[in-house]
Structure 1
Amino acid sequence: MLRSEKIRLYLTVFLVGIAVMIVELLGTRIIAPFYGASLYVWSALISVTMLALAGGYFIGGYWADQAKKSHLSLVIACVALCIFLIPWITRPVLLVTDSFELQLGAFLSALILFSPCLVFLGMVSPMAIRLSSLVLEEVGTSAGTVYGISTLGSVIGTLFLGFYLFPRVGSYQILIGLGVVLLILSGITIFYEREKSKTYIFFLSIIFITAVAIGILGLTNVHRNSSIHSGGHSFKILSTQESLYGWVRVIDEPEKDLRLLATDSSIIGAASIHNGQNRLAYQNIVPLLPLLAKHAIKHALLIGQGAGHMATVLKSQYGIMVDTLEINPAVAQAATDYFDFMPTGKTIIGDARYKIRHLKGAYDLIIHDCFTGGAEPEYLLTVEALNQLRSLLSEQGMFVLNFVAFAEGGKNSALASVAKTIDQVFPYQTVFISEPSKDFNDFIFLATINNFINLNKKSLHSIQKAWLKQRLFTIDKAKGIILTDNFHPLAYLQTKKANYYRSTLIGWLGTNLLIR
């Protein structure tokens, strides 16, 4: 093989390596709005990728040995066609797999949506090895070079996608762009393939035309209507933005005077449309927090800003300056644009575990509200993470954490694990349930360093005291484990919760709002 032909072949392998990682990483962005971005979804995508590539290696190796011609251009064209089909089949595939539980549904969705193009991508490397090996003695060198270049392409693809494309371009546009690049690559490859028959060129042309048509129609069909009727409810999508951390939507349900802030499959903010008042029940405890504190609260930190209602209440009622820490800039922007949130302290954008290392206390109040109905960032609720937060808290300060789980009479293992972990860092802990009549609930943990929470303080009215005491909740901590950076299996412990939350959300909002 001529040196120029080898370079062309290695460039093909390099681009295929890029394509593999783009498809794998985009997979989570496409499935997450329906199944969440939990460890289960990532495990499903990685497993499907490895399985499909393994199948492609076997098929490609067999084809390379048996076929008289390479047909590499055909394989690459088939990849493009499969990629162009993904935006079209995503909705029906997710609807079909919805009848399964979270783990199996996520796996089957990934298998159906992404394995066809990944199998074809896997076929390229063994075919390239066969083409680049003139004699038996060169097979080892050729195989090492091909897989090395392919892996390098995967690295470049990962960095390019994560650092450059994701913040600037939508997932489906990236997919379609990738398909276009592969179609061009297929067209270039056919001119270097020898002994091309008319039948082969005709068949390849049909695939080309079909892929181009599907790609163009798919690109024009990316955006959905803003008004949706589902399950007897009428919704209006005010804003949709794809961010580094998933889809952020602002949704109105006029019949209920309700405005929602959603990220993927989680509701993280709710307000009345006409007056902007908070509609999330668990946040009703926030106005009482300064009354429960031993000393006056002057400076607070809110981790997980959401729609910003908690920070607004603390400022408007008590004049407390609240610094907000939000990982998703799209959420922070939506809170300002659609929920009239005005920062009262520093606005910090970034991952909490990184940002809190650079904050300086002392805060009189820290509210930790990152645990929603969807996927949970377990690493934010380990002994190590809580110790970092304690270091930012004043000696008389209060730590507050919201956690979603089933009550199960206080014997829920996830709930017990949270309580047991907090015990490792804070000597005093009081737990409230948001809505005592329900099993599925928000639980609010109040923890301090030096003293118990006093529910009989004179600063509380009798109605407020009764309201709080009615919501006191006892947890059997023996059912839990201590969560650490080394071992924090909350995703496993919360499987039942994740399935219930998702089914409830679908029953309310319908699939149209969760599938693009």
Structure 2
Amino acid sequence: MKTAHNGQKPPHSQTMLLELLLTVTRASLIILTPLVAGMILRVAPSMMEPIYGSIFIEELFLKLSLASVGVGVMLGIAYTYFSGSTRTSTMSSALLLSKSKPSRTAAESTAAGFHKDANLRKGIITCLDMCALLLASSLFTIHVMFKYSGEFGPWKGPHLTQLFFAYPVLASLGFANTLACVLRSYERVHVRTWMSCVVIHVGAILGLTLVIFQMAPQGPNCPRVYAAAILVAVVSGLHKTLTIIHGEVALPDERLENREKPRVTTASGRASLVMSFIPLALVLAMVAQNYTRNPQCQPGVTKAHNPPNSNFTILARNESVTGWISVVDEHTTRNDLHIRVMRAGHSLIGGMYAETGDSIFGTFYIPEAVQLIKNREKSKQEMALQMYVVSLDIQLCLDLHINIYINIIATTISGLGVGIASSSLIQKGVLVDVVEIDPVVANYATQYFDWPQPHRLFIQDGRQFIKDAPEGEYDYVIHDVFTGGGVPPQLFSLEALYDIQRIMKPDGVLALNMVGSEHPAKSQALNSVRRTLHAAFKHVIGFKESPEEPEAYQNMVFFASQIPIEFDQYVPPPFPSQEELERLQKAGGHIDHALRPSVMRDWILSSFQDWPLSTPFDASKGELILDRNNTLNAMQKLGAEDHWRAMRSLLPLDFWVNY
């Protein structure tokens, strides 16, 4: 047995490092903290996506999360100091016993140690109760905060909302772990042993949090929040139970024999015991309420999603791998037409006019022009690849007053569709492979939008697909991966474009859609994409959706190939007669928008060549987008705000908060 500096044996046998780490308090927090923190880091951003999109929450979220933990640590240090725990300092507990005689009696020292331990225990238990209640109530408070998203705006809104969810929970975890690392009065160790314990404790939590964050799959968020709230409440209950049994949050230990245990034989003692478990009961009640009554946590469509006076009807909804996907009908008309849209988070994937079957997104028709390019040796059986992540266009053609629709289509068969370019190519006999990361998007497109089945449907990541696809497979590649206010940077890197070039035939054509602006202050993302396209392909030409607003944030479609790009003049196909449409329907043929007369398609395919980009390509502008240094996400932030405000101007707040 090692003795103290004054030659006397310490009052208790020395606690070894492993024993320090395996105390109930420290071990439970080493397990609990990564589970909850990893969940928070994964779930908190995705919970913001239906209201704010995917870009804004990334701004400062990790930094503010770390700052929240830091605030919790500082509060823990302050609590330890001001709660009287300094009466028995960590230094004296760490076997730095003074060589001079102690200034107080052994009884006073013991009482001070008990006081310190009680304060630490109370602080941790109270903190865990608060954390559990925050988690359990967060699903209510977040929904309330979402109603003020218009006032908050896309930059501040996500972080103001996280003040009621992620940030206080992380601060609570930092606070609890700080108190857990303080030595108890019965723990006598060298200061180096204590410091090693703290380092291992912190390192284990950081490492496990990273592992859990990386390994946690995408999926429903509400059950994860439920589970975290219950887990924290149960751990708090465990701490309370051990305190009742042993007088301390610990397993049986001879060092705790003199601890005073809570009195449960008296009426006040029993009442205090019952009161201590009220937080657990509240957590379970709130979880049950959310599970059964909260519309945002219910699978499928409930009555609460479609109130009687609503202007919208949600036909289907599902929380999938990319977030909430829903299909919505609008009751009022736009240009005397009804629309049905598919929503993904704070974005519209696609939509159709009910009376005409035409797309509400005019730019979706431009990629069809790949078949108009001259100087190509068309094979007997052409193949095309359409890449989606969760794609959308934000410039709705809702304000195009094409009233001719009403006169021509009044007696035709109505229907809807998405996947405009792929549907048209399919109808023209092209074998189309579609890559979509979200299976729900593909299912809803078929079920609610009359989308024809492609040649092959691949439910996987687009980048991995183009990396593994065979060489020289496709005549055309339709690249449409805009989502949540921006594009996935990994699909716009030079390496990704080289992979696309590899899987195309030598005279193959890439049609790439992106959303950007030619305004000098907002054109960095556009310039970088143009520079990267020109680095990968010999010939690149770009067109924009709105020639009347040259610097607006709008859709742009680039055609890229190794051969010169010139277009044949588009010749509108003859409209099928009503008798032909009825005959096809009776024969069981697939009637979709590609067989219907489409003034919008004809107008766009006949006119898009008159809408080239206003600014000529300048290789000195923009960055080359590379996998090892991909800053495209940061470049898109200004454009993402324009997209967010455009969505809010097109559809009201009630539409967005009801997901």
The answer, yes or no, to whether TM exceeds 0.5 is: yes
Look up the match of 2:388: 304
CA distance in 2, matches of 1:116, 1:435: 45
Question: Once the two structures are superposed, what CA deviation does each residue of 1:125-153 show, in whole Å capped at 9, x if it has no partner?
Answer: 22222256812413123213422443354
| 51-60 or 403-412, larger mean C-alpha shift | 403-412
Consecutive unaligned residues of structure 1, counting only runs of 5 or more, are none
Asked if structure 1 preserves the Cα contact closer than 8 Å seen for 2:306 and 2:312, the reply is yes
Identity of aligned residues (%): 20
CA distance in 2, matches of 1:15, 1:466: 62
CA distance in 2, matches of 1:228, 1:445: 43
Aligned pair partner of 1:380 in 487, 491, 504: 491
CA distance in 2, matches of 1:245, 1:115: 23
- Distance of aligned partners of 1:124 and 1:96 in 2 relative to their CA distance in 1, 3 Å threshold: same
Look up the match of 1:158: 213
- Distance of aligned partners of 1:507 and 1:460 in 2 relative to their CA distance in 1, 3 Å threshold: closer
- Distance of aligned partners of 1:512 and 1:135 in 2 relative to their CA distance in 1, 3 Å threshold: farther
* Structure 1 residue 259, shift from structure 2 partner: 1.3
CA distance in 2, matches of 1:465, 1:141: 69
Aligned pair partner of 2:45 in 3, 19, 28: 28
Look up the match of 2:623: 481
Is 2:548 aligned against 1:437?
A: yes
Q: Report the AA paired with residue 187 of structure 2.
A: L
Look up the match of 1:185: 235
Instruction: Specify the SS of the correspondent of 1:506.
Output: helix
- Distance of aligned partners of 1:104 and 1:218 in 2 relative to their CA distance in 1, 3 Å threshold: same
* Structure 1 residue 288, shift from structure 2 partner: 3.3
Pairing 1:270-281 to 2, within 5 Å after superposition: 270-274=351-355, 276-281=357-362
- Distance of aligned partners of 1:488 and 1:145 in 2 relative to their CA distance in 1, 3 Å threshold: closer
Pairing 1:49-448 to 2, within 5 Å after superposition: 49-64=65-80, 66=83, 67=85, 68=115, 69=118, 70-71=121-122, 72-96=124-148, 98-131=150-183, 134-137=187-190, 138-155=193-210, 157-158=212-213, 161-162=216-217, 166-167=218-219, 170-193=220-243, 194=247, 195-196=261-262, 198=269, 201=273, 204-223=276-295, 225-227=304-306, 234-256=311-333, 257-274=338-355, 276-293=357-374, 294-296=376-378, 298-304=382-388, 307-316=418-427, 318-360=428-470, 361-372=472-483, 374-408=485-519, 412-438=523-549, 439-448=552-561
Question: Once the two structures are superposed, what CA deviation does each residue of 1:427-482 show, in whole Å capped at 9, x if it has no partner?
Answer: 11221222322433211111110212235589999988851332233333334332
Asked if structure 2 preserves the Cα contact closer than 8 Å seen for 1:266 and 1:373, the reply is yes
CA distance in 1, matches of 2:77, 2:447: 55
Look up the match of 2:607: 467
CA distance in 1, matches of 2:434, 2:175: 49
CA distance in 1, matches of 2:316, 2:446: 13
* Structure 1 residue 206, shift from structure 2 partner: 4.2
Asked if structure 2 preserves the Cα contact closer than 8 Å seen for 1:29 and 1:246, the reply is yes
Aligned pair partner of 1:450 in 563, 568, 573: 563
CA distance in 1, matches of 2:650, 2:522: 28
CA distance in 2, matches of 1:98, 1:47: 24
Q: Report the AA paired with residue 226 of structure 1.
A: H
Instruction: Specify the SS of the correspondent of 2:481.
Output: coil
- Distance of aligned partners of 1:241 and 1:75 in 2 relative to their CA distance in 1, 3 Å threshold: same
* Structure 1 residue 258, shift from structure 2 partner: 1.0
CA distance in 1, matches of 2:387, 2:58: 25
Structure with higher strand content: 1
Aligned pair partner of 1:8 in 17, 20, 24: 24
Q: Report the AA paired with residue 328 of structure 1.
A: D
- Distance of aligned partners of 1:279 and 1:214 in 2 relative to their CA distance in 1, 3 Å threshold: same
Which contiguous aligned blocks of 4+ residues in structure 1 show a shift greater than 6 angstroms? 457-465
* Structure 1 residue 217, shift from structure 2 partner: 2.3
Is 2:601 aligned against 1:490?
A: no
CA distance in 2, matches of 1:245, 1:334: 14
CA distance in 2, matches of 1:490, 1:337: 35
Q: Report the AA paired with residue 494 of structure 1.
A: Q
CA distance in 2, matches of 1:275, 1:60: 64
Instruction: Specify the SS of the correspondent of 1:255.
Output: coil
CA distance in 1, matches of 2:572, 2:649: 42
- Distance of aligned partners of 1:355 and 1:464 in 2 relative to their CA distance in 1, 3 Å threshold: closer
Instruction: Specify the SS of the correspondent of 1:514.
Output: helix
* Corresponding residue pairs, total: 507
Asked if structure 2 preserves the Cα contact closer than 8 Å seen for 1:36 and 1:375, the reply is no
Question: Once the two structures are superposed, what CA deviation does each residue of 1:363-404 show, in whole Å capped at 9, x if it has no partner?
Answer: 110110002462320121121111111111111111101111
* Structure 1 residue 324, shift from structure 2 partner: 0.5
Instruction: Specify the SS of the correspondent of 1:474.
Output: coil
CA distance in 1, matches of 2:357, 2:571: 31
- Distance of aligned partners of 1:486 and 1:277 in 2 relative to their CA distance in 1, 3 Å threshold: same
CA distance in 2, matches of 1:394, 1:499: 38
